[in-house]
């Protein structure tokens, strides 16, 4: 049982990347923190992803700025937390002239600063791994970083506990919240304020508040492919990503690309497929993904969807496709009209939900904003790691 004498400034419900980001922002303020999670270890969207901290392509404005800030924080904490940054930068391969036009338009925005348009010969010269069909060029971004999610999340949690004194209460379900009391399956935790980061749990805490945002769930399919015999220094995307990621897709030039894809790759669009390829330290490739929406998605992976993803991989990389070593599905909360929300269901309580697939890319910045709002703004130097 948890001692009734334990007192914390902040309790966080949820130990995924969103919860851990809030723990980091809080301890940088000198606050005492306890993190409560029903599972023994991270098991949801935070570890079932690419570990791809994406900046270019994020929705223009606040989301893009949050991604830039979150990327910087990932780089600040990676070394002290023992997290390896495996890849840096990204290339979006333009398979069609319509995709190149989107890339050119992106470069004319403020988001394109530091990015480059690579001509086809330059693209192949820099990245001979891209041996597929003729390309119209490529968009190179220096902003992205990539970590191995299933390693990075537990290492971040361990570092927060060991270096910053964050208390973790795992295999513990939060049942009701009335600060300063949080009733859990293992006793009462005392904290002056609470942040609930429920991931895709729409029913346990504050379901009526979540329902106001019309949240559903998104299921995705991903694979790990055998070592292809080459090393990929950057993460790779393709035309399908230019039609899906809001920072590209909202540009007027993207309309022509979508029309072309409706003719050429209707199955991919219908299944929400876009290509992301990243490489792990052992040489294996993580590729995906797809997007299907339902309040309770079925647990079954479609072979046809995997084939669509692999077809796009072949079009970009050419040659024989490495065999699949692992296949899995992921689930995250989704809303059609927003990427995230912060709600105040009670005094001294904040409900924070990422309703898109950008948790790893934006959570650190969102957490700073929430902690500043809940505890009062602070000087930037208070955020530096001790």
121 with 236, same domain? yes
What tokens were used for 187?
């006793």
Residue 300, domain member (yes or no): yes
Model confidence over 58-111: pLDDT tens digits?
Answer: 999 999 999 999 999 999 999 999 999 999 999 999 999 999 999 999 999 999
pTM: 0.95
223 with 112, same domain? yes
318 with 363, same domain? no
Confidence class for position 183, pLDDT limits 50, 70, 90: very high
Total number of domains in the chain: 2
183 with 120, same domain? no
221 with 311, same domain? yes
Q: Give the ranges where 216-327 is alpha helix by DSSP (H).
A: 239-242, 246-249, 254-264, 266-270, 303-317
193 with 330, same domain? no
Model confidence over 187-212: pLDDT tens digits?
Answer: 999 999 999 999 999 999 999 999 99
Q: Which residues pair with 286 in a beta bridge?
A: 224, 278
- Give the domain CATH number at 114: 3.30.9.10
DSSP 84-120: ---EEEEEEEE-SHHHHHHHHHHHTSGGGTT-EEEPH
Strands 181-184 and 187-196 turn out to be antiparallel
127 with 259, same domain? yes
Model confidence over 347-366: pLDDT tens digits?
Answer: 999 999 999 999 999 999 99
230 with 311, same domain? yes
For the chain, where are the E strands, in sequence order?
A: 7-13, 33-36, 52-53, 87-94, 116-118, 137-146, 167-169, 174-178, 181-184, 187-196, 216-225, 235-237, 276-279, 285-288, 292-294, 324-334, 340-346, 349-354
Residue 276, domain member (yes or no): yes
- Give the domain CATH number at 187: 3.50.50.60
241 with 306, same domain? yes
Q: Which domain holds residue 371?
A: 7-46+150-211+339-383
């Amino acid at each position: 049982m948890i001692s009734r004498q334990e007192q914390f400034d902040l309790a966080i419900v949820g130990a995924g990347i969103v919860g851990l980001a809030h723990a980091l922002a809080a301890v940088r303020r000198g606050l005492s923190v306890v993190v409560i999670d029903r599972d023994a270890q991270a098991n949801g969207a935070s570890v079932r992803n690419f570990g791809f901290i994406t900046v270019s392509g994020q929705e223009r404005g606040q989301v893009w700025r949050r991604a830039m800030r979150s990327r910087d924080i990932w780089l600040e904490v990676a070394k002290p937390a023992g997290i390896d940054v495996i890849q840096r930068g990204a290339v979006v391969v333009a398979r069609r002239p319509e995709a190149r036009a989107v890339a050119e338009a992106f470069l004319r925005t403020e988001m394109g600063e530091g990015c480059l348009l690579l001509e086809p010969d330059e693209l192949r010269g820099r990245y001979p791994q891209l041996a597929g069909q003729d390309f119209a060029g490529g968009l190179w971004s220096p902003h992205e970083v990539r970590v191995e999610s299933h390693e990075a999340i537990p290492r971040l949690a361990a570092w927060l506990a060991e270096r910053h004194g964050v208390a973790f209460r795992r295999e513990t379900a939060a049942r009701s919240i009335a600060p300063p009391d949080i009733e859990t399956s293992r006793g009462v935790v005392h904290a002056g304020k609470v942040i609930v980061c429920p991931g895709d749990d729409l029913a346990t805490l504050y379901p009526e508040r979540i329902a106001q945002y019309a949240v559903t769930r998104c299921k995705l399919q991903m694979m790990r492919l055998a070592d292809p015999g080459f090393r990929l220094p950057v993460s790779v995307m393709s035309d399908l990503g230019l039609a899906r990621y809001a920072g590209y897709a909202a540009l007027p030039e993207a309309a022509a690309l979508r029309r072309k894809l409706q003719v050429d790759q209707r199955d991919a669009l219908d299944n929400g497929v876009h290509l992301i390829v990243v490489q792990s330290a052992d040489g294996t490739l993580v590729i995906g993904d797809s997007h299907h929406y339902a309040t309770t998605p079925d647990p079954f992976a479609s072979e046809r969807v995997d084939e669509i993803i692999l077809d796009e991989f072949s079009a970009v990389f050419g040659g024989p496709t490495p065999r699949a070593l692992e296949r899995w599905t992921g689930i995250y909360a989704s809303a059609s009209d927003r990427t995230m929300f912060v709600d105040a269901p009670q005094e001294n309580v904040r409900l924070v939900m990422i309703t898109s697939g950008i948790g790893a890319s934006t959570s650190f910045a969102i957490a700073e904003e929430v902690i500043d709002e809940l505890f009062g703004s602070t000087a930037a130097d208070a955020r530096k790691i001790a």
